[in-house]
Structure 1
Amino acid sequence: MSEQKDVFEFPCRFPVKVMGERHEELTATVIEVVRVHAPDLDEVDVVVRESSSGKYLSLTVTVNAHSRAQLDQIYLALTSHAMVKIVL
């Protein structure tokens, strides 16, 4: 059996899309969760958009990814958070 090769070359800049219901603490909470695994995350690397109805927020968080394991940890931390609905 051959070893599975990663399609990404690390380190790289990797955008993570996060969606949740509009809440005044959503952006700060997502940044805090991501910084546990990517401490060099800068707030300028976070783009926030409001849904057309204003009920939801979409955040694009671009991290300096160093490994697949790091990205997996970020995804797990975000998807398990109560404020987060979807992570892409």
Structure 2
Amino acid sequence: MSPVNESLFEFPCDFPIKVMGKSHPDFTDTIVTVIRQFDNEFDASRIETRPSSGGNYTGLTVTVRALSREHLDDIYRALTGHPMVKVVL
């Protein structure tokens, strides 16, 4: 009997991740550095940036090339564990 693949995604795939953090001049560059630990070809020009209405927070949508479920989980863990990041979706 073969193992059941529980993933809803076929890997590799481009996967958008939303990252929220306090507004800071280095926030975007810091997130790019974290992602490039897992995807050294990550294209920073594809980041969508949205400041909050009050300007206190910045939301980024970053699209990563996920090679496997484990790879994607590693990226999420690195982002959620970073002190500048408040929320990852």
Q: TM-score, normalised by structure 2?
A: 0.92
1:69 aligns with 2:70: yes
Q: How many residues align?
A: 88
* Deviation (angstroms), 1:66: 1.1
* Deviation (angstroms), 1:3: 2.9
Instruction: Determine helix, strand or coil for the equivalent of 1:70.
Output: helix
2:49 maps to 48
Note the 1:4-43 alignment, pairs <5 A.
4-43=5-44
CA distance in 1, matches of 2:36, 2:72: 12
Aligned Cα RMSD in Å?
1.4
Instruction: Determine helix, strand or coil for the equivalent of 1:57.
Output: strand
CA distance in 2, matches of 1:4, 1:14: 18
Gaps of 5+ in 2: none
CA distance in 1, matches of 2:32, 2:50: 15
Give every structure 1 segment of 4 or more consecutive aligned residues whose post-TM-superposition deviation is greater than 4 Å. Answer: none
CA distance in 1, matches of 2:5, 2:60: 31
Indicate if the aligned counterparts of 1:45 and 1:63 stay in contact, CA closer than 8 A: no
Q: TM-score, normalised by structure 1?
A: 0.93
